[in-house]
Structure 1
Amino acid sequence: MRKPIRAFHIVLMRKRWWTAAACLCLAAVMFCMVNYYPAAVGASSSVRQLPIYCVQRDQKLISISFDAAWGNEDTQQLIDILDRYGVKATFFVVGSWVDKYPESVKALSDAGHEVMNHSNTHAHYPQLTADEVIADLNACNDKIEAVTGVRPTLVRMPYGDYDDKSVQAARSIGMEPIQWDVDSLDWKEIPADEITQRVTSKVGPGSIVLFHNAALHTPEALPSILEQLTQEGYTFVPISQLILTGNYSIDHTGRQCPC
């Protein structure tokens, strides 16, 4: 009886050896895949759709932008200040603001400023379906075009809130989502000198600066900002002239770069 028992143990040991060897080989393969081919693991899920926050520019070009969703009491004052310094800006307006103040929309356009899309109802786009985002954008575009004769090509998502779906929806109808890399914080009603210091200390070539129409201290701060940045050699252009066309990429910070 000893020989059959001995043979059984030999077979059992061989099976265990082959199982262990197979496990070691599998572990080695997984190690190689993770360490030498990391792009193969989850590559498609890691690419996020980003708007343009700023632009890689060698020249000292920057853009001034305003979001218009509240009142219009300072709109003409802003137009006058910008005209005094020869600056053309980009105004992102909500469709309901167009309904209330079509004369202000026309005044902005007649003064040579860009009038772009800030949504129709100022909804949180990540809460909408792609079709709802597209319908909302087109509704605002229709209103702006009816007043200015120009259909917007840029959009700033309400609240600066977006997801992959809403960014893709905007781009599917030929619109480019625009954020900002310098926030004036004028919406917090901070003093004019703080707005000035914040903006002038943070801008760089290719920056997009965020202001708000109807913010309390923006008309007070704007002249000193334009004067100081002009003295530093900056040139102001509308966002459509700042962003790149043709082949470009958007890096993980939202900076648009030439390919």
Structure 2
Amino acid sequence: MKLFKAIHIKKKHILFAVAAIACVGVVTCVVPPAATKVSLIISAKNERKLPIYCVETDKPQVSISFDAAWGAEDTDQLLQILADNEVKATFFLCGYWVTDYPEEVKKIAEAGHDLGNHSSTHPHMNQLSSEQIAKELADCHKAVKDLTGIEMNLFRPPFGEYNNTVIETSFANSYYPIQWDIDTLERKTTAQKSRLLRQSFIPF
């Protein structure tokens, strides 16, 4: 079995990241957790529960994701780049972004990309109670479902922050908590980013 890598692309690195992936010839698509063997990972030492970073697959695949929590001026260009390269991605949406940019949300969904929950207000989830976390999930879920009819089941915690309560509450509300294992390295130079991204794909 090979590991299905999760790549998180920050908005201002869209052009570089998609181009780099196209150059290394990686087949990119999203595999829903329901179609793969996924289990809750627990650290034996501290009983710390972890989100899903990768899953097992026999195919040479990666998953590209974007967090939509600010602005929408690049949406059309991004969707065109993805379409030109025949790439599907997962967009984790904040509830207020859905409210502010409903047409962009529809375009993303109509293009066949997966939609994920990124909370309603983008708080530090590891500072919230289980009830507050559940409300963040429910409010964003409702906003997306009312607009698109889509029932989301993937959740990306804002800031990548989580604790046991976040993980447990996600599963309790029928959501798979999803993290990334490759970032877009915003503090690196273009050459460094290219080298590190290529190295990340060597196992494939």
CA distance in 2, matches of 1:156, 1:141: 13
- 1:65-104, aligned counterparts within 5 Å? 65-104=65-104
CA shift digits 1:21-61 (9 cap, x unpaired) = xxxxxxxxxxxxxxxxxxxxxx9873221100112233211
Aligned to 1:34: none
CA distance in 2, matches of 1:116, 1:162: 17
Q: Secondary structure of the residue that 2:115 maps to in structure 1?
A: strand
Aligned to 1:173: 173
CA distance in 2, matches of 1:148, 1:193: 40
Aligned to 1:118: 118
Aligned to 2:20: none
CA distance in 2, matches of 1:148, 1:195: 35
The alpha carbon displacement at 1:79 in A equals 0.5
Q: Secondary structure of the residue that 1:65 maps to in structure 2?
A: strand
The alignment status of 1:151 with 2:151, answered yes or no, reads yes
- 1:42-61, aligned counterparts within 5 Å? 46-61=46-61
CA distance in 2, matches of 1:131, 1:67: 23
Q: 1:157 to 1:101 in 2, by over 3 A?
A: same
CA distance in 2, matches of 1:142, 1:115: 13
The alignment status of 1:128 with 2:125, answered yes or no, reads no
User: Which structure shows the bigger proportion of residues in helix conformation?
Assistant: 1
- 1:1-259, aligned counterparts within 5 Å? 46-186=46-186, 188=187, 192-203=190-201
Q: 1:101 to 1:164 in 2, by over 3 A?
A: same
The alpha carbon displacement at 1:92 in A equals 0.4
CA distance in 2, matches of 1:44, 1:81: 43
The alpha carbon displacement at 1:108 in A equals 0.2
Tell me the number of residue pairs that the alignment of Structure 1 and Structure 2 aligns: 162
Q: Gapped runs of 5+ residues in structure 1?
A: 1-42, 206-233, 235-259
Whether the aligned pair in 2 keeps the contact of 1:95 and 1:120 (CA below 8 Å) is: yes
Amino-acid identity (%): 41
User: TM-score scaled by structure 2?
Assistant: 0.73
CA shift digits 1:175-222 (9 cap, x unpaired) = 000001111124x5x5555443332322466xxxxxxxxxxxxxxxxx
Aligned to 1:27: none
Q: 1:179 to 1:203 in 2, by over 3 A?
A: farther
Aligned to 1:12: none
CA shift digits 1:103-130 (9 cap, x unpaired) = 1110000000011101110001111000
Runs of 4+ in 1 over 6 A off after TM superposition: none
Q: Secondary structure of the residue that 1:122 maps to in structure 2?
A: coil
Q: Secondary structure of the residue that 1:56 maps to in structure 2?
A: strand
CA distance in 2, matches of 1:163, 1:130: 11
Whether the aligned pair in 2 keeps the contact of 1:184 and 1:198 (CA below 8 Å) is: no
